[in-house]
Each structure stands twice: as structure tokens, then as C-alpha cells.
Amino acid sequence: MDLLRADPLSVLRQRTSMKWRAYPDDVLPLFVAEMDYPLAAPVKAAMLDVIERSDVGYISGSGELATAFAAFAEARWGWLIDPANVRTTTDVSVAAVEALRQAIAPGERVVIAPPVYPPFFEYVAEAGGVVVEVPLLDSEAGGASGSLQGNNGAGGSGPATTEERWSLDLEGVERAFAAGATTFLLCNPHNPLGLVHTRETLERVAELAEKYGVIVVSDEIHGPLVHDPANFTPFLSVSPAAREVGIALSSASKGWNLAGAKCAIMVAQSDRMLGLLERMPEEVGMRTSQLGLHGSIAAFTDGVPWLDALLATLSTSSALLGELLEEHLSAVTFRQPQASYLAWLDFSGLGWGPAPSIRALDEAKVALSPGLDFGSQGAGFARLNFACSPEVLTEAVTRLARVAA
């Protein structure tokens, strides 16, 4: 399979997205989750067609997207969805906040599992809830993930994977549910670790949620980006209990690099959860972008070969990152992710303090996502986006190594 080629820096720096406007041109931006590859041809064609026919008014329902996503989910994950149970909105962030607004009363507690995507903290507050942290477990550290160690995936007996190392703290989750938490905001797959939760883990979450009357809002935006041999399991697919208590959120935005196109998917598969979606204001759905809607339809129907090439490219890039770290910066460690294009880097061996991204930016001119943004467990860590060219990735590690020398 041919790998994707990232656009050259001269082309990328013409983009106006946050990734390419947040920092001066002497900085390599490897922080925000945007990829450097050109759009998939079917997606580009569909969006251009929208422009050609001046079809940029308000959307009229989810249209063909519900059917397209249902077909993709069945073919890719074996998940059976009635298209009538699919709704759209602007993006997964809006979907999460609006689902939480319907799931909780003001002041109710919402469980999250840090280190986790930073907006999770904000979603809960915006919806009027109170965050309850149940940190992930780390088998090697023998506890929560604040003292993570890993390897670079080069040499020795091979890389430690996220599944072998991290997991949800199910006992901690049950304690939080028993203490009165009413909702669990689940990250599946888990950002920033690239952790793909097992079916058994998700079944247990569903059992606990049903037992304690908890609603599970499952952010599955990275679901299309799971690497072989891992298998993504949609939360709603695992059991009748999951369908009774859960809402799934998805999008083509991460898999096909469409974050700014503004289209996300919400799925419910029980009368109770469909009622929750129906209680949302009409504007939640009306805010979906026509460009995003039609780009997403093309992604889920005709963009699968491009997605497969992307996954092969990302696997190569992840392996290259491990080799580069082993050769040039062995004190910085990471575990090969099972999903996405994000590496959770442990800088503690360098002694750069709790916020190593500051030194990376100031001295190496490499922009990384600060680990502490993902929770207190991120002290000493930073997140790196490796969805870039081999040349950019090599230059980034080389710059960091020069500072560390």
C-alpha cells in the first residue's frame, strides 16, 4: 500500500488553521491534532461540489450521513446502527457538552479518567457539572499514571503497548458511581495515550453504569484511527446494558482531518437515550456545517482506501519516532499507541521539570501540547503529533536532542 505524503512546509505554512498560525515560522508545530497530509480526494471533491452549487445554507437533517456512518460502522467494527438513531451537530465538543447538559442537573458529578483530552474538564464545567477524577491505572508503575515510564519501541524485546500498560480503574469508577456520580465522560480510544479499551472493560463499565443509574457519554472521535492489531470496540456495541445507558459521539474530523469543517455524529440505541437526544434544542443540530456534512458522507463512503493508507503511514511514523528517540534522545520515553497519531512523551528522565513543553518551545522551537493540560498526572509529560513528514519528525527530535545535550 502506498503511504501518504505530507505537504512540504512551504505549502503547510500557507494554511490558516491554528496549527500554522499559533507560532512563528521558526517553530515546528507538533501540538494540536491536525494532520499535515492533503485531504482525501473524494472528500475534497464532495466539498468543492457543495461550493459549485452554492449549497451552503442551513442543513436539513442528517441526510445521507446517517446511512453512510451506519454502513461504515458495520463494515469496520461490526456495529449495527439504525440510521434513524443518528443525529448531527457542529463537532464532538458541542456534542459532549449538549449531551452532558441533558444527562446531569447543575452540580452533579461527572467522572473522567485523566490524563485525558484537556477539554473534558471544560465540557463538564460548561454543562454545569463537577469533575470527579478517576485516573487511569498503570501496571508498570503499580498505580495511577502520574509516575509513568515506558520505552521507545526500539531495541530490546520490542515496545510496550498501551493495552499492556494502561487501563481504566474500574474499582475507582465503581467507587465514584457509588458515591453519587451520575455520568461518565468516557474517552474511547483514550487521548492522549492512544489506549483502545477492551470489550471486557467496556462491558464492565456498562454493567456498573446500569447498576448505579449512571449515563455514559462515549467520545469515540479517534475510533477510525485504530492501528492493527488492535480492534476498536464502540461502547454501544458491547451489550444491551451499554445501549440502555450510553450515547456515542463520533466524527470524520480526526480520521480525515476535517476538524474545521464542523460536523459530528451522536448515536443512541435505546428509547431512554434517544429521548435525551430529542430533548436537545433544535439549534444543536442546525449548527452542523453543510461542508462538513457532505465531506463526512464522502469520507465514510468513498474515503476508506485513503484512511487505510493513512493508518499505514501513521504506523510507519510512530515506529520512526521510537527509533529517533532511541538514537538521539533515549531519556525521553513513550509507549507505542494503539490509536491515533499522538505520542505521550515522558520527559522526566531529562529533568526538564513538570512542564517540559516550555523548554521544548523556548529552546528547541518545537511546539508540543503541555502534559499538565491533561491533568496533574501529566507532570513531566508532553504530547507530540507525529502526523507529519519523516523530515519534520526527524528535525523535531534532533532539535530537542540538541537542547538536551
pLDDT of residue 144: 42
User: Is 176 found in the same domain as 298?
Assistant: yes
pLDDT at 62: 84
Mean pLDDT within 254-270: 97
Q: Which helix (H) or strand (E) holds 293?
A: helix 290-302
pLDDT at 1: 74
Tell me how far apart the alpha carbons of residues 115 and 195 are, in angstroms, rounded to a whole number. Answer: 11
Number of domains in the chain: 2
At 48 the pLDDT is 98
What does the pLDDT average to over 266-290?
96
Over the stretch 196-240, which tens digit does the pLDDT of each residue have?
Answer: 999 999 999 999 999 999 999 999 999 999 999 999 999 999 999
Percent of the chain with pLDDT over 70: 94
pLDDT of residue 141: 58
Scan for cell 502520574, then name that residue.
Answer: 146
45 and 298 Cβ atoms separated by less than 8 Å: yes
Pair (192, 313) in one structural domain: no
CB 129 within 8 A of CB 301: no
Among 305, 366, 369, 108, which Cα is nearest to 214's? 108
pLDDT band (50, 70, 90) for residue 20? very high
What average pLDDT does range 23-49 have in this prediction? Answer: 98
**Confidence at residue 234, expressed as pLDDT on a 0 to 100 scale:** 98
Query: Which set of grid coordinates corresponds to residue 122?
Result: 471544560
User: Among 37-46, 56-65, 184-193, where is mean pLDDT lowest?
Assistant: 56-65
48 inside domain:
no
Q: Does the residue 54 lie in any domain? A: no
Same domain, 122 and 256: yes
Which of 271, 302, 333 is the endpoint of a domain?
A: 302
Separation between Cα atoms, residue 52 and residue 140, nearest integer Å: 55
Q: How confident is the model at residue 167 (pLDDT cuts 50, 70, 90)?
A: very high
Measured between alpha carbons, how far is 166 from 144 in angstroms, rounded to an integer?
Answer: 9
pLDDT digits (tens, 9 = 90+) for 42-65: 999 999 999 999 999 999 888 899
- The dihedral through the CA atoms of 75, 80, 82, 88 has a sign that is negative
Residues 179 and 269 in one domain: yes
Claim to verify: residue 287 and residue 334 sit in the same structural domain: no
The SS3 call for residue 26 is coil
Q: pTM higher than 0.85 for the full model?
A: yes
CA distance 194 to 344: 8
CATH number at residue 287: 3.40.640.10
Over residues 314-373, the pLDDT tens digits come to: 999 999 999 999 999 999 999 999 999 999 999 999 999 999 999 999 999 999 999 999
In whole angstroms, what is the distance from residue 268 CA to residue 102 CA? 13
Domain boundary (252, 269, 302) is at: 302
Reported confidence tier of residue 164, pLDDT bands at 50, 70, 90:
low
Indicate whether 283 and 309 sit together in one domain.
no
pLDDT in tens, 93-150: 999 999 999 999 999 999 999 999 999 999 999 999 999 999 999 876 544 443 333 4
Tell me how far apart the alpha carbons of residues 162 and 193 are, in angstroms, rounded to a whole number. Answer: 7
Quickly tell me which residue has 469515540 as its cell. Answer: 220
Mean local confidence (pLDDT), 292-315:
98
Q: Round to whole Å and give the CA distance between 66 and 72.
A: 10
Averaged over 20-44, what is the pLDDT? Answer: 97
- Residue 371: give its domain's CATH number: 3.90.1150.10
Q: Are the beta carbons of 392 and 9 closer than 8 angstroms?
A: yes
Q: Do 294 and 323 sit in the same domain of this protein?
A: no
Q: According to the model, what pLDDT value does residue 161 have?
A: 52
Residues 81 and 207 in one domain: yes
Q: Which of 302, 330, 355 is the last residue of a domain?
A: 302
Residue 313 belongs to domain spanning = 9-39+304-404
- Same-domain status, 165 and 229: yes
| 23 domain-assigned | yes
C-alpha distance from residue 89 to each of 94, 119, 263, 268 (Å): 7, 17, 6, 14
Do 266 and 308 fall into the same domain? no
DSSP-assigned letters across all residues of 157-173: T-PPBHHHHEE--HHHH
Residue 25 predicted with pLDDT over 50: yes
Both 277 and 252 in a single domain?
yes
CA-based end-to-end distance of the chain: 38
- Please give the backbone phi and psi of residue 396, each rounded to the nearest 5 degrees, phi first: -60, -50
Residue 162 pLDDT > 50, yes or no?
A: yes
